[in-house]
Amino acid sequence: MLTLQMDGKLYWSGLAGDKESYQSLLVPPGEHQFQVVVKGQGAVKSSNAVSGDFAARKRMTLSVKLRPQATGGSAILDPSAQVSAGLKRDIFPF
C-alpha cells in the first residue's frame, strides 16, 4: 500500500500497480513538496521529501524506488527497506 502526501496532507493512496488511479493526477500550479509512505505487514517506511515548481501544461513525473523490494506479492515489507523518491520535469510533454 502506498500513500502520497502533498505539502504534508494526504494526496493519494492505493496500490503501486494500479496505474489508472494515479496516472492522471493533477497538481495545482506552484511549489509543492511530496513524500511517499509505504506500508506492508505492519511495517511503515517513508521516503525522502522532494519538491517541485509546478506550472500549467507542464508534466512532471514522481519516481519511487523500494529497496529491497517487498516479497510475497508486496505483502511483506523488509524492516531494512529504504524508500527513495525523485521528481523530474518531462522534456516532451504529451
**Per-residue pLDDT tens over the stretch 17-70:** 888 888 888 999 999 999 999 988 878 999 999 999 999 888 899 999 989 876
What is the pTM (predicted TM-score) of this model? 0.83
pLDDT of the residue at 90: 81
The C-alpha angle 64, 24, 60, rounded to 5 degrees, equals 55
**What is each CA distance from 20 to 15, 23, 24, 50, in whole angstroms?**
10, 6, 8, 23
